[in-house]
Chains A and B, each alone.
Chain A
Amino acid sequence: MTIRTLRDYGQHYRPRMACLKNVEVFVVEMQDPKSGVKGADQKLNVTIIPHVINGQDILAWIVTKMKVTTEEAQAFGTMLVAYGYIYPLQNHRKLVLVPDSTLYRFQTPYFWPVQKWPAEDIDYAIYLARRNIRKKGMLEPYEQQHYDNLHKWMNPKWDFIVMQATEQYKANKERKKPDRVVLDCQERAYWIVHRPPVLTFDVVRRTNIFLTQALMRSAVKSSVSLTAFVKFVTTHHNHDPFLTTPVPSNPWITDSDEFWQLNSRSVDIPTKLSVERWVLSFWELISDPRGRVDFKLFLKKEHSAENMAFYEAAEEMRWGAASAIPEKSQFIFNTFLKPGAPRWINIDGRTMGLTVKGLVVPHRYVLDAAQTHIFLLMKKDTFYRYLKSPVHKDMQKRALVPAPHVFTDAQLEANVRNRNPGVSPILQWQQEEEEKAAAAVAARPIDVKAMVATNKLDRK
């Protein structure tokens, strides 16, 4: 068995092949007649197969050579089998390294994975056709499936394929039996790696698990869901800049960014269109930063600002860094959940119990139940009161309806020259963070004792 010298496998579209360079060096060493794994001739059925090694020896050799634990060696050995460098003789479909007397052989370098020729469908078709001839139509079920598929889409080439297959079959018959068996084993192993049996039982099981839960999942009538789409489109028609020209003008067309300035988060009076959008749903209201500011103002008047604060804190925990979770959960518990907390939220006993229990070992989704409860409370109750409140009604009256821009050609050219660079989002983010920090300080409960100590409450 000649072992070819290693070539340089450059990085191309499948970069993981480059790492196999090291694996190949390793495999070459494994096959060294003096210092490699000891192989012997083995009788299999009627034929004697040369150079057979067993799983135990392979494992022991890897442990010694790489100086690793048995588990690591086991994992690496299984990789060698999975990639096709070593193939099992008996249970040829299970590509794992079993550390006992299970028999393996080294795959000929011709069939190593990094050889540049891809496992062509046409070669596979010839292989299957030849197998078909030999086994007289008794292919394994997954092979039969592949064969049928290939026959369907390679139909025009089929005569050629059968011809090649018959030629190879005849040539094979000339060979000596042991050589034939070895070659057959090698080829079969190669195709197991490159055309693995598609439908094993665990794939089918997974499909069944998926289908069972899909059946139990409730679905909605088409008439209901499709009507909802039409409703969504209709209600949002006026807000879609492609369908209704935005006022004062689309910044991309007139090069004036007034549209963005009028709809920014920190603007005093919002536009009428924005306010109309807030009415559409609670989610639209709090997704618009300006809308959220208005809603928080209303909550403060109702003395239920802790609901929104809890919602925001829970969102932060959910989407935040993993390392911040224990600290945040502690803060949220102390501020919102523990009995006598300064900003105690009003949720039902069962949810509170579940949440507090979960907080013992905090996980990012531990506040989900409480957060959903508060969100639904705000959505179904507070939102409607907000819509009827003087805060909102006042805003509706004061909302601006900017006049549409009418630019002359000269003005348009001037706009192009004077495009506003705007504020960098990084600066804006820093500003927002500072505002948040200030708001957090302001929301902290007043410590009466500290105030007395510093004489601030002293009235004179």
Chain B
Amino acid sequence: MCDQTFLAITFGPCDSCSENRPLMNLYIKTEPINYCSLCMEIMACQGLASGETLKSLKAESETLRKKLEEERKKLHDVELEKVAEKAEALGELNMKTRRTLKGHGNKVLCMDWCKDKRRIVSSSQDGKVIVWDAFTTNKEHAVTMPTTWVMACAYAPSGCAIACGGLDNKCSVYPLSLDKDENLAAKKKSVAMHTNYLSGCTFTNSDMQILTSSGDGTSALWDVESGQLLQSFHGHSADVLTLDLAPSETGNTFVSGGSDKKANVWDLRSGQNVQSFDTHDSDINCVKYYPSGDAFASASDDSTCRLFDLRADREVSIYSKDSIMFGAASVDFSLSGRLLFAGYNDYTINVWDVLKGTRVAILFGHENRVSSLRVSPDGTAFCSGSWDNTLRIWA
């Protein structure tokens, strides 16, 4: 919790409607105002004032954009490669598949680790969601969803529940139990409701709240117990494909990436879009925060992965090679943030040196696209799920 967030008023009476609501920090010219999200929408949709035309508004956009670029340029005083010269070179990395989890009957679309560092939940195209103890490769729980293409799944922080969803436009939570003959499907709880497919879901710091992203262009925060919508996030102009919650002490922001090639950073409390990055050339398939919370990486269909610095508000590095022509589907950082693991549609996994921008290793093994990739909570291994129906643990 840095000093900046302490000074910003985030909850209280709105300057416009006087209702007690989570507030966005906005500016009219240079005057700060605190509006709730509803009043901000009303302000945006107001009829054109006298003298205003679509053209004048667009011209204002251009001037603001130019000004922003200038300001950011002033702060752009050094490149990452220069600063990274101080970092020592990496040694030889020897990563192999240590476990292969077989059991899904169709493409594995998503996976997530449990906080106990050894259990995994994975979901596939045929609607099956399986909880594995990856260390022993035993299947512990399994449930068949009534929908196919389960594109998102998440493990609860307590380890007592899982959430998943896909083409059914919903995110459902299943509490897990120790019974041998449990009927998971009976205890299902529908939490999130979107108007298009669910592309990503994650629990926040407890089992009681879920953050979801959907093909309808919005992300939303839900209360699990009541299914109530706590906050929605509008701003993407196409499907939102991925999201990631910030690991920092504040825990108040998350980043989402979409088919509109933009990655947006949002404030969880007010729903405000606080930062936006649009340097990618194609759909952003995955976004992941850097372990310190001050940056994030993205993987895109344009076959590159990029690193974005949140404090300097710009893209700082591109991880690409001429020989890599297929889209990147998923990324994650190692514990120290030195290594970036990325899974691609050409069946490989590339390991990049985050600071120096070079590729340190390429891993073969999967027989189809790598659809999702995550590093374990203690950084000892990472798991990759693929369209070849298997999951592999690499260490």
Residues of A within 8 A of B (CB): 11, 13-16, 141, 199-202, 204-230, 232-234, 236-237, 239-243, 246, 250-253, 257, 259-260, 263, 283, 315-316, 318-323, 358, 361, 363, 365-366, 368-369, 371-373, 375-376, 379, 419-422, 424-429
Going nearest first, the 10 A-B pairs with the smallest beta carbon separation are A425-B159, A236-B336, A240-B336, A252-B395, A211-B64, A319-B206, A220-B311, A321-B225, A225-B311, A322-B223
Q: Tell yes or no: B230 within 8 A of A by CB.
A: yes
Q: Tell yes or no: B364 within 8 A of A by CB.
A: no
Q: Tell yes or no: B20 within 8 A of A by CB.
A: yes
When distances are taken between beta carbons in the complex, the residues of chain B under 8 Å from A257 are: 118, 135
Assign chain B's interface to a size class: 35 or more
When distances are taken between beta carbons in the complex, the residues of chain B under 8 Å from A205 are: 43-46, 57
Q: Give complex CA distance A222, B223 in Å.
A: 38
* Docked-complex contact A422 and B58, CB < 8 angstroms: no
When distances are taken between beta carbons in the complex, the residues of chain A under 8 Å from B87 are: 230, 233-234
* Docked-complex contact B378 and A223, CB < 8 angstroms: no
* Docked-complex contact A242 and B196, CB < 8 angstroms: no
Q: Give the contacting residue for A219; candidates B43, B71, B176, B276; CB below 8 A.
A: B71
Cβ contacts B203-246/A at 8 Å (1 or 0 each): 01110110000000000000111101010000100000000000
| Contacts of B320-338 to chain A: CB distance below 8 A | 334-338
* Docked-complex contact B290 and A229, CB < 8 angstroms: yes
Known: A240-B338, A242-B339, A260-B117. A422 touches B135 (CB 8 A): yes
When distances are taken between beta carbons in the complex, the residues of chain B under 8 Å from A236 are: 291, 335-337
* Docked-complex contact B136 and A426, CB < 8 angstroms: no
Residues of B within 8 A of A (CB): 1, 3-6, 10-12, 20, 22, 25-30, 32, 40, 43-46, 48, 52, 54, 57-58, 60-61, 64-65, 67-68, 71-72, 75-80, 83-84, 86-87, 90-91, 93, 95, 98-99, 114-119, 133, 135-136, 138, 140, 158-160, 167-169, 176-178, 195-197, 204-206, 208-209, 223-226, 228, 230, 235, 248-249, 269, 272-276, 290-292, 294-295, 309, 311-314, 316, 334-339, 354-355, 378-381, 393, 395
* Docked-complex contact A223 and B196, CB < 8 angstroms: no
When distances are taken between beta carbons in the complex, the residues of chain B under 8 Å from A15 are: 167-169, 197
* Docked-complex contact B292 and A321, CB < 8 angstroms: no
* Docked-complex contact B83 and A211, CB < 8 angstroms: no
Q: Give the contacting residue for A372; candidates B6, B133, B168, B176; CB below 8 A.
A: B6
Q: Give complex CA distance A453, B176 in Å.
A: 46
Q: Give complex CA distance A209, B276 in Å.
A: 13
Q: Give complex CA distance A316, B314 in Å.
A: 34
* Docked-complex contact A213 and B116, CB < 8 angstroms: no
Q: Give complex CA distance A376, B99 in Å.
A: 43
* Docked-complex contact B57 and A323, CB < 8 angstroms: no
When distances are taken between beta carbons in the complex, the residues of chain B under 8 Å from A375 are: 1, 249
CB proximity of B18 to chain A, nearest CB, Å: 13
When distances are taken between beta carbons in the complex, the residues of chain A under 8 Å from B136 are: 419-421
When distances are taken between beta carbons in the complex, the residues of chain A under 8 Å from B91 are: 243
* Docked-complex contact A226 and B309, CB < 8 angstroms: yes
Q: Which residue of B lies closest to A360 (CB)?
A: B20
CB proximity of B74 to chain A, nearest CB, Å: 9
When distances are taken between beta carbons in the complex, the residues of chain B under 8 Å from A199 are: 54, 58
CB proximity of A412 to chain B, nearest CB, Å: 12
* Docked-complex contact A215 and B64, CB < 8 angstroms: yes
